[in-house]
Every structure is written in C-alpha cells, then in structure tokens.
Amino acid sequence: MLRYHEIRILLFLEPSSTQHLPRHSHLFMSRKRRTKAGKKPRPIIHILPNEVLMEVMKVSPAKEHAMLLLSCKLFYQLGRTLLYRSIWLTTFTAISKLHRTLFSPGGNELATQVRRFEVLIRHGLDWQTHPMPNVLINMLGAMRHVHELQLHIEHEFFSHLLMGDPFELLSFPNLSRLAVTLIPTFDHTSLLRFLQRHPSLTQLSISVPSRNFFLYRPFLSGFTETIKLPQLRSYSGPLEILNLIFPTVIALQSIVIDFGLSTDEDVEADLKRLQRLDVRSLSVELIVNPRSPIVNLALQHVPKNVTSLSFQYISASLNHLVMLGVPPLPDPNVVPLDVSALRRLTHLKSFFINDVSFRSVKGAHRNLSPELQKLIEACPSLETIKLHGRLYRRNAHAQSGYELVERR
C-alpha cells in the first residue's frame, strides 16, 4: 500500500513526460522553447476522478489540506465540503463563527455535509460572551444528516435552555450515536422525547455529573412512557432512563452504570432488572465508591450471562489527585472484594478492576498475586484479567496458566 508522501509525488507527475531538464534550465531557454514548455500536459492530479481525489483528501494530513486546495480547483470544491464532515467545537466563539458560516450564502450545503458534530465546553470560560442556545439549535436543525452527536456543555443556564422544548423537535434520521451531559436539577423530559424520535440509535451515553465525580439521579418529572430503541447495542448512564428503554431492547451488549450515590436497595433493584437481558455477549461496567460494600452486592445480582465485568472505583479524593498528576496511595479503607461471588458467573471471560481496589504489589512478577489466584480459582472461565495495572491472559504454556502481557 502506498504511503501518503508517495501518493503526493505521483499526483504531481506529468502523465507522459520522461525527460527532465536540469534545475534552472528554463532560464537559458529561447522564447519559443519557453512557450512550448508552458503548454506541457497537466499533472496527473488534474485528470483523476473525483472519487480518487476525495480519498486523497481523507488520507492526507490536516496540515497539507491547504496545499491540496490551492493546487487544484477540484480539490477545493471537494475539500471545502469534506472538511465539514466532522466538526469539534470547544468554545462559544467557535459556535458563533460556525453559525455565521452555515447561515451565509451556500452554507446550507456545508451543513448537510456534517456527519459528526461534537461540542465539548469545560468550566472556566467567559460565560458572559456565550451566544444564546437557539444559535446552536438552529445549527443542529440544519445538520440533517448527522450520524454522531455529542453535547457536553458545563454551563447550567445554557444547557437548561438548550435541552428545552426546541431540542425535542430536532430530527436526525440517520443518528446512530448520541452522547449528552445533563444538569441534575433540571427536567430531562425533552431529551426523552428526543430519544423517542430516533429509534435508529445504536450507542447512547447520558451523564448527569456532580461535583464529587458521581452521577446524580436524573429528574424525569414522572415520565413513564416506553422509549423504543430496538437497535441499541451500548448504553452508559442512569438506570432510570435505561428502564424506560428495556422493554424494547433485544440486543444490548454493553452497559456502564454509575452506582456512586446509590444505596444498597437501589443496587439490588436495578441489577435485578438486567436479568431480563438474554444475549450471548454482555459487557457490564460498574462505577462505585471504593469504601462502599456495593461492589460485593453487585456481584451477587449482576446477570449470570455476563461475559465481561469491570469495576471502576472512583472517589472525589482519588480524582483530585489524578487531575493533579499525583499517583494515589493505597487506601486502607477499601472494601475487600468477595471473589467467591464470581462462582455463579460461569460465562465470564474478562474481569477488570482498577488500581485503587487493591494495595500495590512489589517484587517479582513471575508468581501470581494472592488476589489473582483467588480470582482464577473462583472463576476458571476467565481468559483476561487486569489487576494493579497489570494485564494477564490465559496461556496454556505458562507455568501458572496465565502470562503477564502488559504492565503499567
């Protein structure tokens, strides 16, 4: 397969020229020869089909797009639309600029080219300069062919107005992936109405973050209608919303649930609802507090047919240290994992638990740690295990039956 720099050389070669003049030889040509040389065949780039030029734009580095656009008018016509296929905005200023572009003459054509649209705006920006949410709503309304949509805006007033009545009226017939961040104290009924209008979703991620890094329970204002998403394969978010989807879900394969602020009663009731899932491959990730016994309760009620199980231990103090770049120390108050509960999971192939769950282990890596040995004894079906930042895989030729393949 040709690399991009090789493709670029071929593009600018002349199709039939085999003779090469010495460098600067044009300075010594007669006027007649210079005129004749100016009529030589155009480079290959000018005679290629549009489909080939489009593929060249896709594989070319972003820093070279300008050179390609200047070299050929066809590149300009194709490139100006290709560059709008995937848009990622991180400031309110960028939202305003894109709005002016899309609603200028010819902008509607560019809006219909967008397939992936992401807005990721963090805390710390000058909120006084932000545009009104209807600006973003108008842009979304023009992007009729979006396949993937992500809206993460850490501003309560803006997000509240954005997720109001106008949002539920938006329609994207080809939308397959959606990720949104909600404000916990506001009603989320508009989002639920939006989901009802998009049954083709295959991936759905909903977060309702709090300041202590766990998800709040969403405010649904008594919404009890069923949301039909028959093609949904992956879900991350509150179980309150997942419960509205459950009756029509037949092929859900991946679930991420945040139990950070849940009670024991919540965990038992929520996980029992997962028992109705009847799929061959089910991946479940649970986010819990390392000092909470919820992890062992979850092991007792997670579906028996789960094939991949992950535990993410998260605490406010741990996350603050990670954000500061400080490695966390072992937490003596971490609730020990009751590995005997894994015996009921006879289909489990992969198990992961992050570093804070166990104290770090020093010394040689040839011998398996006691925690790892207990996991293997309790669940012999395991093929992949990750503990203490180390990844182990089953290997019949290894002395212990497992080999260390990755270490952080």
Of 83, 115, 140, the last residue of a domain is 83
How many domains is the chain partitioned into structurally?
2
* Residue 65 shares a structural domain with residue 200: no
* Residue 142 shares a structural domain with residue 186: yes
123 is a domain residue: yes
Distance separating alpha carbons of residues 141 and 137, to the nearest angstrom: 6
Of 342, 362, 382, the last residue of a domain is 362
Query: 397 — phi, psi (to 5°)?
Result: -85, -15
Q: Which residue has the tokens 């979850």?
A: 298
- Supply the pLDDT for residue 211: 47
* Residue 175 shares a structural domain with residue 73: no
386 is a domain residue: no
* Residue 328 shares a structural domain with residue 181: yes
Q: Domain with 128 in it: what CATH number? A: 3.80.10
* Residue 63 shares a structural domain with residue 198: no
pTM of the model: 0.72
- Give the DSSP H/E element, type plus range, for residue 116: strand 116-121
pLDDT digit string (tens) for the chain, length 408 residues: 445 555 555 454 444 443 444 444 444 445 555 555 555 555 555 666 666 766 766 667 666 666 666 666 666 666 666 678 888 988 888 888 889 888 988 788 888 889 999 998 876 555 556 667 788 889 999 999 999 999 988 777 677 777 777 888 899 999 999 999 877 767 778 888 999 999 999 999 988 766 444 455 666 667 778 889 999 999 988 777 888 887 777 778 898 887 766 677 777 777 777 777 766 778 888 887 777 788 888 888 888 889 999 888 776 555 544 444 545 555 556 777 888 888 989 899 999 987 553 433 333 344 567 878 888 888 989 999 988 778 889 887 776 778 888 766
- Supply the pLDDT for residue 363: 35
382 is a domain residue: no
Q: Which of 234, 153, 155, 146 is nearest to 194 (CA)?
A: 146
Q: What is the pLDDT of residues 30-87, one digit of tens each?
A: 555 555 555 555 555 566 666 676 676 666 766 666 666 666 666 666 666 667 888 8
31 is a domain residue: no
Distance separating alpha carbons of residues 64 and 262, to the nearest angstrom: 51
* Residue 249 shares a structural domain with residue 111: yes
State the amino acid at position 316 in one-letter form.
A
Of 346, 362, 378, the last residue of a domain is 362
- Supply the pLDDT for residue 35: 56
Structural domain containing residue 127: 86-362
- Supply the pLDDT for residue 191: 87
Q: Which residue has the tokens 């929520």?
A: 270
Q: What is the pLDDT of residues 264-276, one digit of tens each?
A: 777 777 777 777 7
* Residue 98 shares a structural domain with residue 63: no
Q: Which of 268, 350, 261 is nearest to 314 (CA)?
A: 261
Structural Rg of the chain based on CA atoms? 28
- Give the DSSP H/E element, type plus range, for residue 180: strand 177-181
Cα dist from 69 to 6, 60, 66, 184, whole Å: 18, 12, 5, 46
- Supply the pLDDT for residue 140: 92
* Residue 104 shares a structural domain with residue 60: no
Distance separating alpha carbons of residues 165 and 119, to the nearest angstrom: 20
* Residue 79 shares a structural domain with residue 90: no
- Supply the pLDDT for residue 351: 92
Query: 97: which DSSP letter?
Result: H
* Residue 62 shares a structural domain with residue 123: no
Distance separating alpha carbons of residues 336 and 290, to the nearest angstrom: 9
25 is a domain residue: no
